[in-house]
Structure formats: structure tokens, C-alpha cells
């Protein structure tokens, strides 16, 4: 595969392309591929947070060591490289939203917000200001030319597919974006990095949540919202107290481990009630949901309120697709009726909608229920 194949032959020779360089192997290979095909490549790396508190954290991105790696790769490739300080925008649009979401009893996905508000918002706007013809990233997803504009498809390597995290990408953004790695497996990308003798060829992949040290989400929320974290009761499905907790931020829907409650059968977090500071637990059967309510819908196909689409949906990034009927509603809302019950559907996560390999839309999960139990 060549960079021209990845771009899709829809840009002129020598076109100016800004590459979002995180300092990892994927975006570094994208820059090398495109530069090798004669495109005018400009590398851009975002400084998103003060990494002093994360010193020694393996697998982070967009911090000091990663900026140095991106700069070194750009130097080897002979392309200009810029570091953009987006720390305040990242704090307001991603980190604060992350903390507030946990306080509301949700399970957020900050990577989607980062793509939505920073990378494909501010950075994409900067690329256009520079007169670029496209913004390229190292995401494992495919951009396919369609009759009505660019389409977003799952990456060829489904074990690496990142289209779920791109569901909020608008049509206008997608028309400008390029994903040169969409047809490649990770193993080939690693080999290309070796072939180009890039210093990041063996660098570990970055973690999903770059600003969370040691995977401790709760510690980040406590630091940002210390007055909002309150102890409370763990209750059963009848509302009877069975234990105590030190803050609902320590729990997520579907969680089984770390509940600190003894029981004969396995118990799971079924619901979080921030108004009462309660964690509700019960057996796995109590997690079953087959109707999901969405908001902030982003559609990449023409849909009108009242339309019903047959599709498959992902309710978490690591879960398999599930058959469903999706009803579009006014005001950016939608209802998803699943063909079979799913377990661990959590507010704050995304429900991403596919037809075949094509991503046609998605929205944020606000609530879920069991239809047979609905009023």
C-alpha cells in the first residue's frame, strides 16, 4: 500500500497535508508515508496538559516525551513541525467534562470529546488556516468516497478499529480528514516504522485516557471536584443498605469487582444515584437493557425525525456489534431498540450505529431500560 492509495487519489500531487503527530508510531508512520509520496507534509503536535503530575507515567500522549519524539521524527523526515499549546482548551472541553460526567454518575469517554472539540475542531481549523488540503491522523478507520461525500467505515483490522471514537465527526470534518492507516494491520505499521528507521518503531501504544495517572480516574475527579465527592450507601434493588462507599465516582455500571459487599451470587453495579449518593447493586439479570435513549446525535446519513433504521450498534468500544432498530427523534435524540438484551449499558458512554462496516451515526447514552419493565 502507498500513501496515494491511502489518500484515495482525490488530492493533487504535492498537496499540503497537516499530520496530527502525537509522538506515537501510528501518526509517525502516517507522516513518513505521505512525505514519501511527495505531499507537502506539516507536522502538528498538541500540548494538551501539564505532564509534571504524570511524570513517569507510561503510555501517555501529548506530553513532554511525546512532543520530543514527534519533533525527532519530523526532523528525520525533513518536514516542518509545530507544537500547539491547547492546554486550556483541553482542560475546559475534555478534562472538566470528564470530571463533571463522573460526578453525574456517568462513565465518560474523553477520547471522543478530544476528537470532537480539540483535534477535529481547533486543530482542523488551524490546518485550514494554513491552507492545507487535508488533515491526516493515525486512527485505524477508513474514509471511503461516497456518492454524497466521504463515508466513515471501520478499519480493515477490526481488532484495532477506532471508528467508535470518531462517531461525533461531522460530514464537513470528514470531507477534510484522511486516515491513511485504515487498510493496514498494526503489525504492518510497526514494520513500516522499522523500514523508515523511526525512533518510535518499538514505542508502546498510548493509553486511551492520556491524562489519568496510573489508571486512577477517581483521583483525577477528587483533585478537580473535591467538594463533590461524597460518601454514601450501597443499596440493594429494594433500596435497603448493604454497605458503604466513599463516592460514586469509584463505580461504573456493570462493575463487579471491588464492591466490598458479601453475597451468595455475583453482584454488579446496576445503577448510580448521585442525588442520593447511592450505589445500587444486584444480580447480573438486573443489568439487562434492551431500549437505550440517546442525545447529541451526529448523523452521517440523511435522517429525518421519525425514521426507523435497521442497523447494528456498539454500546461500548470493546463490545461486539448488536442488532437493533434505531428511531430518529427531533432535537438530536434517538431511541435504540435492541433485538436482544445487553448488559452494562452505562450513561455517558456512546452508542455508535453501523450498517455493515459503515458508521452512519451515533450519540451519547443518557438512559436505558428493559422494555418489558417500562411503564
Are residues 52 and 16 in contact, defined by beta-carbon separation less than 8 angstroms?
Answer: no
Location of C-alpha cell 498494526: 186
Q: Which of 61, 62, 210, 351 is catalytic?
A: 210
61 is catalytic: no
114 is catalytic: yes
Q: Which of 61, 62, 111, 114 is catalytic?
A: 114
Which positions are catalytic? 114, 210
Amino acid at each position: 500500500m502507498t500513501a496515494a492509495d491511502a489518500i484515495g487519489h482525490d488530492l493533487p500531487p504535492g498537496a499540503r497535508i497537516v499530520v496530527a503527530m502525537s509522538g506515537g508510531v501510528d501518526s509517525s508512520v502516517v507522516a513518513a508515508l505521505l512525505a514519501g509520496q511527495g505531499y507537502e507534509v506539516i507536522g502538528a503536535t498538541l500540548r494538551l496538559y501539564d505532564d509534571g503530575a504524570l511524570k513517569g507515567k507510561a503510555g501517555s500522549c501529548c506530553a513532554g516525551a511525546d512532543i520530543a519524539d514527534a519533533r525527532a521524527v519530523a526532523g528525520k523526515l525533513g518536514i516542518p513541525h509545530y507544537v500547539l499549546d491547547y492546554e486550556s482548551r483541553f482542560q475546559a472541553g475534555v478534562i472538566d467534562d470528564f470530571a463533571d460526567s463522573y460526578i453525574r454518575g456517568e462513565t465518560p469517554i474523553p477520547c471522543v470529546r478530544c476528537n470532537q472539540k480539540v483535534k477535529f475542531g481547533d486543530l482542523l481549523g488551524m490546518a485550514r488556516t494554513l491552507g492545507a488540503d487535508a488533515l491526516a491522523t493515525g486512527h485505524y478507520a477508513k474514509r471511503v468516497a461516497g456518492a454524497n461525500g466521504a463515508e466513515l467505515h471501520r478499519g480493515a483490522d477490526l481488532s484495532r478499529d477506532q471508528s467508535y471514537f470518531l462517531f461525533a465527526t461531522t460530514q464537513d470534518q470528514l470531507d477534510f480528514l484522511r486516515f491513511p492507516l485504515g487498510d493496514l494491520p498494526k503489525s504492518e505499521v510497526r514494520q513500516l516504522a522499522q523500514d523508515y528507521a523511526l525512533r518510535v518503531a518499538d514505542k508502546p501504544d498510548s493509553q486511551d485516557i492520556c491524562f489519568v495517572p496510573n489508571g486512577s480516574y477517581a483521583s483525577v475527579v477528587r483533585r478537580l471536584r473535591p467538594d463533590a465527592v461524597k460518601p454514601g450507601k450501597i443499596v440493594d434493588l429494594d433500596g435497603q443498605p448493604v454497605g458503604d462507599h466513599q463516592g460514586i465516582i469509584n463505580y461504573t455500571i456493570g462493575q463487579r469487582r471491588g464492591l466490598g459487599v458479601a453475597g451468595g451470587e455475583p453482584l454488579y453495579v446496576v445503577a448510580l444515584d448521585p442525588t442520593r449518593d447511592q450505589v445500587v447493586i444486584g444480580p447480573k439479570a438486573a443489568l439487562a437493557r434492551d431500549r437505550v435513549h440517546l442525545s447529541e446525535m451526529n448523523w452521517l446519513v440523511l435522517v429525518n425525525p421519525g425514521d426507523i433504521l435497521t442497523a447494528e450498534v456498539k454500546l461500548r468500544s470493546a463490545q461486539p456489534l448488536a442488532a437493533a432498530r434505531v428511531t430518529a427523534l427531533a432535537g438530536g435524540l434517538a431511541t435504540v431498540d435492541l433485538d436482544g438484551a445487553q448488559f452494562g449499558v452505562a450513561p455517558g458512554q456512546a452508542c455508535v450505529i453501523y450498517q455493515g462496516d459503515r458508521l452512519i451515526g451515533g450519540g451519547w447514552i443518557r438512559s436505558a431500560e428493559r422494555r418489558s419493565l417500562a411503564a
